[in-house]
Amino acid sequence: MSIVAGCDVGSLATKAVVMERRRVLAAVVVRSGPKPGASARDALDQALAQCGRSAGDVSYCVGTGYGREKIAFVNETLSEISCHAKGARFLVPSARSVIDIGGQDCKVIKLDANGGLVKFVTNDKCASGTGRFLEVMAKVMHLPVDRLGELSLQARDPVTLASMCTVWAQADIIKHINARRPAEEICAGINTAMANRVAMLANALRLENDICMTGGVAKNKGVVHALARILGQRIKEVKTLDPQLVGALGAALLAAEQAGKVNRKELPP
Amino acid sequence: MITAGVDIGSTTAKTVILQDRAILAAAVIPARLDPVASAREVMDLGLQKAGVRQADLQRIVGTGYGQQQIPFAARLESEITCHARGAFFHHPAARTLIDIGGQDAKVIKMDARGKVVQYSYNDKCASGTGRFLEIMAEALGVGLEQMGAAGRTCVERLSISNQCVIFAETEVVSLINEEKAVGDILNALFRAMAHRVASQVRSLTVEADVLLTGGVAKNIGLFEALGQSLGVTLQTPSELDPQLNGALGAALLGQEG
Amino acid sequence: MTALLSQAAQSIDLEPLRAFKAAGGRLVGYTCTFLPVEVFHAAGLVPVRLRGIGAESLNIADAYYGPFVCTFPKALLQQVGTHHYAFLDGAVITGGCDGMRRLNECWRKLGADIPGVLPPWFHYFDVPHKPEGVALSWYQDQVRKLIDAVQNAFGVRIDEEALGRAIRQQNRVRQKLWDLAELRCRRPAPISGSEAFEALIARNVLPPDRYLDELDRLLATVQNRAVPSSDRRRRLFVTGSICDDLALVQQIEAAGAVVVGESVCYGLRNTCALVDESGDPVAALSAHYLSGSVCPRMFGYYAERRATITERIRQTGAQGVVLQNIRFCDLHGSENGLLERDLEQLGVPTLRIEKEYGALTETGRLRMRIEAFLEQLEA
Amino acid sequence: MRPELKEYPLDQLFARTFQLARKAGRATPKEQALLLKSVPYVSGLLEPMLALGAPAITFLGMLADYYTDLIHAKEQGKKVVMTTFCFDPTIFYAFDNLVPVTLEVGTVITSILWKRGAYDFMDFCTEVGFSETGCSSQRGTMGAYLAGAGVNIDMVAVNMGGICDTNSNAYSFAAQYLGKPFYGLDYPAELTPDAVRDYHHQDYRALIRFLETHGGGRFDIDRLRSLLEEKQIQDELTNEIEELQRLVPNPVPGIYHLLMYAGRYTCSGSPTFTRMLREMLEVVRVNALSGAAGLGRPEKCRAFLFYIDNFSFNVGMFDWLARNQVSHMGSMLSRFFPDNAPYRREVPGTCYTIDTRGLDSMIDTLADINARMPMTRTVRGPYDAPNMWLEDSLSLAKIFNAECCIYNGTPGCRNTWSNVKLIMRDLEKHGYPTHLVYADAFDGRVESWETTAMRLDEFFKIRGLL
């Protein structure tokens, strides 16, 4: 039985999704190594092993992400924007807007009723609306980054970060640490600062409901809640799949579409 | 007289203990989340190395980002004053001092008696600070200690231009994705950082001797790139770990009352 | 494609300029679209529009300019400070925007610190921020002052006849550039955007005679070029802040698009109309150069600029518009915001890009945006 | 911007706040406490203002009237003109149907009074397409007017090109975004040549025609004369205060600068503004007679701010200077160059004269005043040219016996950030220790006040000033 695959080589993590008839067979996240081609190979091999298939079974593969040009085995490459839009619509069919926050990029995508790409914006100005911002802040807090979200939900009086700049905000955090503010309040301040920045991008597009959030940062409940509050709109969470995998999922879905076209062409009339 | 200088920075905590004008002991530890704990820990380590008790210290002078958090400091002095004092002690001919710390880069101009004439901090954007190198080392998976030697020369001349640390990191990731050699990427990073610092020094006009201190002074790749960008031969303390300069200055100020 | 046009677009150091200089000719650098270059042509000088291309760092410029300033004047100052413009016999600074007008002070101070980087003649050309009323007569006075200053500095005479000749020659250039623009409107376009952009940039830096020859050659080649019957490439239009960055157009085209027109400094901007060849040449030049439809530095004339740009987009049949600006260029940054709103209302998709100047741009991030925009246009 | 913010009209909140503050100024302490409770948005800064006594209370009342007029403009059939701080508003008051609103003043008030500062409005500007790196002093309230959370403006009239692109650009954006007519007075790079003077005069007349055309109102010559006569009195009072400022110690409280220039930007020619100046002069005279410093403590040092003096969030800069016993010797914002100013001798031939003999002379006067507004005069040409930034700073620092200079501004200011490093070098050469603040005077997110204050501490200590 032929299967399709999507592979998303990001700056920090490489993701692979293997699908069969619009059903996810396997999904894998590995840390991006120094060679994006090798990371992609590794991710896909692991995913194939997970579902007991071999590379020969893959009829079509789409690559995306920063390192997409270096993936040797893909049939086609597409931008992260298209892949995230596709993946998000699959998981949340009512989605008209996608906010994807990856390691070094923040993308806000607007879709039409059929899921067609209408417009998108990305962070050109400032890196503070990206996953890296959270990572750097978590490091200053001596916390693993995935703790920022849950901790911040317990905050009563979040701190305000004076600076938006990823680097200068660290000095702010240290100031709050020195002032002995509880960790959860600082975490909440970090998440709110991040959400404010993302909201500015999102508002520029005048987002329509439903909003779906993807990318690693979508796992941070603190950011998601803050963002919903600032936007005054509900954010639909991706529940059935790790939100980090949405780009790879979209790539696999686009691969399936392409495979379908190719197959139809090959069939005799 | 025995005095101590304690410098609580954003990434490390340092102490120097002096007896009169001789260094009894020095210590460096990574900064803890709680600066009070950092201060206590580095002080204890210093005392242990020097073989003296805190009660033997006649004066403790604090400096650095976390100076307010040193509970036992009798006096606080700005980093600028401490660095200038430290530099004058081990390199009296220095007229320009560049100190690159974790969060900022300082340029200090001094007269023949070691008095601060003028000083400046780096322009907004941290691409000329120690934190920049730390983030890049992490992105490249190279240890901070090894990166200097690894990027000392380049085979292919790459360029990294973004002044935002995070965007610069994206450039590094792009270069990694293009499968460029780590040494060449490092070399490009050093040049980029050296250019930032050099323009800061130029704003105050350069006067020899130019001394470089701070943890990054130990990074040979950067050290050479900065010297080249400025067109001068840089000096760095030979007897002293260059990141101890601030703590040394603080201890000396303690000696002077 | 002609090798010279291509070279001129990508380098500061050019053979025709060297040859001109070696033969005793004199070169004057300038910085802005609002300067009537015919004045220099009439004086037998070659005006060279200054560029910052090739600046790899700003380690000199950053010591003069503060942070929060656009990297274009900085890159330019860096090239000056590294002796790339040592061949200039003079320079004219124009108050195009705050960042550019401060090049006046920054360059002079740099000249005091680094010997040999300040040309012997250094002139400030004051351009009003509106095209009408008292501003127009002020501008005419400035042109007359410029003529006097050039005459005094270089010991030349600029009379009406010489000005008339220069105007006629530049009108020929304008006419040919419009011919080129028309070729690009064809579907499919017989010339790539990169190739056309080279010709546009080269206009700003080559001696006019040489340039006309090259342009003729290019036009002849393109007119006779065989084109495929169909072209799936998306047609894009580029506008926004100063751009002499060929790499940007190349990158857009590498992603599978064709750039069919642009409204940027160094591009077609000020060639919208021909200069009146009858009557007082100073008045004619002033009426032409002091225009509200060229640059957002002319505050309050957005409607005129929008009209010009939308008309050109319509002519070129562009399917999408790239609105680019250099970081800290608020004039174009804001104008791009208005254009984004207004063009999308007209059904023209736009992509806004903010970047550093030229080589200082990080291209990986840019590529993803351009590719995604093309995918958006496909959908 | 948070959706709920669009529901509260900003200028109505200002009007209500200042009306209450005026009442609080006249109330007993108990009543005052009660009243302050009913202005929940203010961050407790009204209290220190009230503590300043009569002039500050008059100031609050003046702003109450200013914003009350603004919110009632439409129902009274008047037109609202959006304008900038460096534009003298007298001409609007000379019309029978124009009400001005000055964005920068609103931004300062918003960032001082509101708990969240002016961030939401700033960010809203970015959301609708205005450049994020544009000057925060306009963005701070422009967002409210763009979002419809402020009075509907009818036209825009500003001092523009030649002085500050980012400022002109903001107003031109607002006019375009809202679809309103725009007029900008243009300024050549020089100040004193006859041709330039002529340019100012002609351009100003075209402005009046613009206001007539788009406002449809009548320009009243008698009203203009009385406004200018009042202005003359205001200039004299200001000059007396500034003359006294030369004393050591300086008897003028630093915060007075803020009240004086904010008054001038909004209420030039109004009798209330005159009253405030009289009340100030009284306090200053008492201080001078008793040899007391306006600081309220002994004076240790005198600083001249060669750009802006306010600081977002709070009145941190004024506060810091006072606490550290440093006299505030003025900023670029507080100098207007009338021909009887104490510093006129240092800047000969560059001041304006109020001439009320006829209509033409009055219009010329207005044009001359406008051409000398803060920034309009000082940063229009090369900083080292005659009568420009360096000369002005040196002459003011000298006449007021300043011992050091401080640059405090906003990253949006391309004009000053493009040559501040150069002017610093020159000021140092002239013997003035000079400090560069990297903060944004209107946006606390650029550098925290704590960091700014720490750097100030360091500067005054290391350079041996304190």
Pairing, β D79-83 against β A117-122: unpaired
Burial of D426 (0-12, 13-18, 19+ CB in 10 A): middle
- Residues on chain C touching D175 (C-beta within 8 angstroms): 300
CATH of B95-236, one of 3.30.565.10, 3.30.420.40, 3.40.190.10, 3.30.1340.10: 3.30.420.40
Closest CA to A7 of A62, A53, A47, A58: A62
- Residues on chain B touching C56 (C-beta within 8 angstroms): 159, 161
- Amino acid C221 reads T
Q: Does C126 touch chain D (CB under 8 A)?
A: yes
Do residues C300 and C283 share a domain?
yes
Do residues C374 and C292 share a domain?
yes
Yes or no: say if A103 and A89 are a contact pair by the CB < 8 Å rule. Answer: no
Do residues C15 and C109 share a domain?
yes
- Residues on chain B touching C362 (C-beta within 8 angstroms): 161-162, 167, 170-171, 174
Domain edges within chain B: 1-91+240-257, 95-236
The last residue of one of the domains, among C124, C158, C192, is C158
- Nearest chain C residue to D424 by CA: give it: C64
- CATH homologous superfamily for B1-91+240-257? ATPase, nucleotide binding domain (3.30.420.40)
d(CA B101, CA B128): 9
DSSP 3-state helix, strand, coil percentages of chain C (rounded to 5)? 50, 10, 35
Residues 2-41, chain A: which have Cβ within 8 Å of C? none
- From C327, C352, C368, residue closest to A79, measured CB to CB: C368
How many Å is the maximal CA-CA distance in chain C? 62
**Overall residue count recorded for chain D in this entry:** 466
- Residues on chain C touching A66 (C-beta within 8 angstroms): 364, 368
Do residues C55 and C168 share a domain?
no
Yes or no: say if D17 and D106 are a contact pair by the CB < 8 Å rule. Answer: no
Q: Does A174 touch chain B (CB under 8 A)?
A: yes
Do residues C154 and C217 share a domain?
no
- The confidence score (pLDDT) of residue A269 equals 39
- Residues on chain C touching A82 (C-beta within 8 angstroms): 372, 375, 379
- Nearest chain D residue to A172 by CA: give it: D448
Q: What is the number of structural domains in chain C?
A: 2
Query: Chain A: nearest CA to D121, how far in angstroms?
Result: 11
Q: Does D74 touch chain B (CB under 8 A)?
A: no
Q: Does B81 touch chain D (CB under 8 A)?
A: yes
List the pLDDT tens digit at each of the 379 positions of chain C. 589 999 999 999 999 999 999 999 999 999 999 999 999 999 999 999 999 999 988 999 999 999 889 999 999 999 999 999 999 999 999 999 999 999 999 999 999 999 999 999 999 999 999 999 999 999 999 999 999 999 999 999 999 999 999 999 999 999 999 999 999 999 999 999 999 999 999 999 999 999 999 999 999 999 999 988 888 999 999 999 999 999 999 999 999 999 999 999 988 875 568 999 999 999 999 999 999 989 999 999 999 999 999 999 999 999 999 999 998 999 999 999 999 999 999 999 999 999 889 877 777 778 889 999 999 998 7
Q: Does D123 touch chain C (CB under 8 A)?
A: no
d(CA D317, CA D303): 12
CA angle, residues D139, D141, D144, in degrees to nearest 5: 110
Q: How many CB atoms lie within 10 A of CB A225?
A: 18
pLDDT digits (tens, 9 = 90+) for A200-257: 889 989 899 999 999 989 999 999 999 999 999 999 988 889 999 999 999 999 999 9
Q: How many CB atoms lie within 10 A of CB D405?
A: 25
Inter-chain residue contact B174 with C363, CB threshold 8 Å: yes
Inter-chain residue contact B123 with C67, CB threshold 8 Å: yes
Do residues C215 and C355 share a domain?
yes
The last residue of one of the domains, among C136, C158, C180, is C158
Yes or no: say if A146 and A106 are a contact pair by the CB < 8 Å rule. Answer: no
DSSP state letters, C106-128: HHHHHHHHSTT-S-SEEEEE---
- Give every CB contact of residue B256 below 8 A, 6+ residues apart in sequence: none
- From A82, A116, A124, residue closest to C354, measured CB to CB: A124
Q: Does A82 touch chain C (CB under 8 A)?
A: yes
Q: Does D59 touch chain C (CB under 8 A)?
A: no
pLDDT digits (tens, 9 = 90+) for B31-41: 888 889 999 99
Q: Does A118 touch chain B (CB under 8 A)?
A: no
- Nearest chain B residue to D447 by CA: give it: B124
To test the contact with chain A by mutation, choose from C322, C361, C376 the residue with the greatest count of A C-beta atoms within 10 A, namely C376
To test the contact with chain A by mutation, choose from D440, D445, D450, D451 the residue with the greatest count of A C-beta atoms within 10 A, namely D445
d(CA D219, CA D217): 7
Residues of B within an 8 Å Cβ radius of C: 123-125, 159, 161-162, 167, 170-171, 173-174, 177, 191-192, 194-196, 198-203, 205, 229
Pairing, β C257-263 against β A23-31: unpaired
- Residues on chain B touching D411 (C-beta within 8 angstroms): 124
Residues 94-153, chain A: which have Cβ within 8 Å of C? 105, 116-122, 124-125
- Nearest chain B residue to A167 by CA: give it: B126
Do residues C184 and C252 share a domain?
yes
Inter-chain residue contact C368 with A66, CB threshold 8 Å: yes
Inter-chain residue contact B202 with C67, CB threshold 8 Å: no
Query: Chain A: nearest CA to C372, how far in angstroms?
Result: 5
Does residue B18 sit in helix, strand or coil? strand
Q: Does C98 touch chain D (CB under 8 A)?
A: yes
Q: Which residue ranges in chain A fall short of pLDDT 70?
A: 1, 125-127, 162-168, 262-269
DSSP one-letter code for A74? -
- From B194, B195, B203, residue closest to C58, measured CB to CB: B195
Q: Does C62 touch chain A (CB under 8 A)?
A: no
- Residues on chain A touching B167 (C-beta within 8 angstroms): 127
To test the contact with chain A by mutation, choose from B8, B104, B173, B177 the residue with the greatest count of A C-beta atoms within 10 A, namely B177
Domain edges within chain D: 222-462
Closest CA to D412 of D319, D334, D312: D312
Inter-chain residue contact C356 with B195, CB threshold 8 Å: no
- Nearest chain C residue to B173 by CA: give it: C364
Query: Chain C: nearest CA to A49, how far in angstroms?
Result: 31
- The confidence score (pLDDT) of residue A168 equals 66
Partner residues linked to A212 by β-bridges? A98, A236
Closest CA to B40 of B22, B54, B25, B26: B54
List the pLDDT tens digit at each of the 466 positions of chain D. 777 778 888 999 889 888 888 888 788 888 877 777 766 566 566 777 777 889 999 999 999 999 999 999 999 999 999 999 999 999 999 999 999 999 999 998 888 777 677 888 998 999 999 998 899 999 999 999 999 999 999 999 999 866 789 999 999 999 999 999 999 999 999 999 999 999 999 999 999 999 999 999 988 999 999 999 999 999 999 999 999 999 999 999 999 999 999 999 999 999 999 999 999 999 999 999 999 999 999 999 999 999 998 765 567 788 899 999 999 999 988 889 999 999 888 888 899 999 999 999 999 999 999 999 999 999 999 999 999 999 999 999 999 999 999 999 998 999 999 999 999 999 999 999 999 998 888 888 888 888 889 899 999 999 999 9
- The confidence score (pLDDT) of residue A268 equals 43
Do residues C144 and C165 share a domain?
no
Q: Does D450 touch chain A (CB under 8 A)?
A: yes
List of chains touching A (3+ CB pairs within 8 A):
B, C, D
Domain of C79: which CATH number?
3.40.50.11890
d(CA C362, CA C97): 25
Q: Which domains are delineated in chain A?
A: 1-92+244-269 (3.30.420.40), 95-237 (3.30.420.40)
- Residues on chain C touching D162 (C-beta within 8 angstroms): 95, 129
Q: Does D54 touch chain B (CB under 8 A)?
A: no
Yes or no: say if C373 and C351 are a contact pair by the CB < 8 Å rule. Answer: yes
Do residues C124 and C176 share a domain?
no
d(CA B114, CA B95): 8
Which structural domain range is residue C85 located in? 3-158
- Amino acid C261 reads G
Do residues C134 and C239 share a domain?
no
Ranges of H-type helices in D290-442? 316-323, 359-370, 389-399, 414-417, 420-429
Per the listing, tokens 């900038």 go with D84
- The confidence score (pLDDT) of residue D191 equals 93
Burial C41-64 (b: 16+ CB within 10 A, else e): bbbebbbbbbbbbbbbbbbbbbbb
Which secondary-structure segment (H or E) carries B112? none
d(CA C260, CA C191): 9
Mean pLDDT of B158-186: 83
* The CATH number of domain D222-462 is 1.10.10.10: no
Inter-chain residue contact B192 with C57, CB threshold 8 Å: yes
d(CA A259, CA A253): 10
Helices (H) and strands (E) in chain D, counts: 19, 8
DSSP state letters, D52-92: T-HHHHHHHHHHHHHHHHHHHTTTTT-EEEEE-TTS-THHH
Closest CA to D128 of A122, C337, A118: C337
DSSP one-letter code for D314? B
Inter-chain residue contact A203 with D1, CB threshold 8 Å: yes
